């Protein structure tokens, strides 16, 4: 196995272990904790925590600290997936190759499991479990809160919801995805960078630019694989966006132009990343985003 792939395998194990530890806590409601663990453990690519760790390398951040930050961000991601799959939203039966949360626990518990994950992330980041100076914690928490709410993921999801069945321009589609998918991915990268002592404002601007472009690339590839891969490979229902009459890069640009757009954006990202020292892991993950099949 190539050494970067080995790095990913070992790091995935560390993330899984940390998530398991963080989700082993007293609960007055075992069913709620079980529902949370069902959607958070043993599944998914963990691309957000991997990015947190890779970005931490650029600023000399501590690995354990980055694993805790990344795992907390993964909880937010899992909350968004649980809510996204609910009958009132995307109404999906399959996620990460298994029945969606509400199919097992019912709509109400699924909704509440998502809510609990949202706050658990901030509980961890603001606690002594995260060994960082208070000012750094506050910066990361503020960044993440912005990325999730009105100005980020939830705002993007709302635009998506309200525009279903309507024709969007490419600019409107891009704006929506920068919020819905891009904001959390961007935050996962910036949070890792902010956790390191070697913070440099100019470098931060560059990392921010790279992070935004990676968020966009992730979504373009998502739209492409939605039509090119099957349900078994994706672990979720294939061709869903098309069936739900959603605006996607493929619907607006056509498959081959969408593929060319992804190709050009990937090259641009790699070029920017290679200008940064200690960026080997970041490059590896950007490649993973581009070449992924699920
Ligand atoms: C309702 C308060 C409230 C909040 C929820 C539902 C929602 C707001 C936001 C949804 C955001 C969302 C689901 C965006 C899609 C992002 C996306 C492409 C998910 C797939 O991510 P991967 O490929 O999945 O990283 P894995 O399973 O690998 O983790």
Cα within 13 Å of Cα(22), Cβ side: 29
Note the pLDDT of residue 245. 75
pLDDT value at residue 64? 98
Whether the model pTM is above 0.75 = yes
Q: Are 235 and 42 in contact (CB under 8 A)?
A: no
pLDDT in tens, 143-153: 999 999 999 99
pLDDT tens, residue by residue, 121-167: 999 999 999 999 999 999 999 999 999 999 999 999 999 999 988 88
Kindly give the parts of the chain with pLDDT less than 70: 1
Q: What CATH number did the domain enclosing 128 receive?
A: 1.10.600.10
> What is the distance between the alpha carbons of residues 292 and 55, in angstroms, rounded to a whole number?
20
Query: Per the structure block, which two tokens stand in for 261?
Result: 């757009």
Cβ neighbourhood burial of 250 (10 Å; 0-12, 13-18, 19+):
buried
Q: Please report the beta strands in the chain, taking only residues with DSSP state E, as ranges in sequence order.
A: 94-95, 98-99
- pLDDT value at position 1? 64
Residue 222, token pair as written in the block: 């998502």
Distance of CA 290 to the CA centre of its chain: 15
Question: Which pLDDT belongs to residue 237?
Answer: 87
Q: Which residues have any ligand 1 atom within 6 Å of their CB? A: 44-45, 47, 77, 80-81, 83-84, 89, 96, 153-154, 157, 180-181, 222
The total of structural domains in the chain comes to: 1
Distance 93 CA to ligand 1 centre (A): 15
Its domain, for residue 157, covers 2-291
What percentage of the chain exceeds 70 in pLDDT?
Answer: 100
How many helices and strands in the chain, by DSSP H and E? Answer: 16, 2
Specify which residues 98 forms β-bridges with: 95
């Amino acid at each position: 196995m190539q050494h970067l792939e080995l790095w990913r395998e070992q790091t995935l194990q560390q993330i899984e272990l940390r998530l398991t530890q963080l989700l082993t806590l007293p609960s007055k409601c075992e069913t709620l904790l079980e529902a949370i663990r069902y959607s958070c453990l043993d599944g998914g690519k963990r691309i957000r925590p991997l990015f947190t760790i890779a970005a931490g390398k650029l600023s000399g951040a501590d690995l354990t600290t980055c694993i805790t930050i990344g795992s907390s961000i993964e909880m937010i991601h899992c909350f968004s997936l649980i809510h996204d799959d609910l009958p009132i939203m995307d109404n999906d039966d399959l996620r990460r190759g298994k029945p969606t949360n509400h199919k097992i626990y019912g709509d109400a518990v699924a909704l509440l499991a998502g809510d609990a994950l949202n706050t658990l992330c901030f509980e961890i980041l603001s606690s002594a479990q995260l060994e960082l100076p208070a000012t750094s914690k506050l910066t990361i928490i503020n960044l993440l809160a912005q990325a999730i709410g009105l100005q980020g993921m939830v705002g993007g999801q709302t635009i998506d919801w309200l525009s279903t069945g309507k024709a969007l321009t490419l600019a409107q589609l891009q704006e929506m995805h920068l919020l819905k998918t891009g904001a959390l991915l961007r935050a996962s990268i910036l949070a890792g960078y902010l956790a390191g002592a070697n913070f440099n404002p100019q470098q931060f601007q560059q990392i921010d630019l790279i992070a935004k472009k990676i968020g966009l690339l992730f979504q373009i590839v998502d739209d492409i694989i939605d039509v090119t891969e099957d349900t078994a490979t994706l672990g979720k229902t294939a061709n869903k966006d098309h069936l739900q009459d959603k605006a996607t890069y493929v619907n607006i640009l056509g498959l081959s132009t969408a593929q060319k757009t992804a190709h050009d954006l990937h090259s641009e990202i790699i070029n920017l990343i290679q200008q940064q020292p200690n960026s080997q892991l970041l490059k590896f993950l950007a490649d993973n985003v581009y070449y992924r099949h699920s």
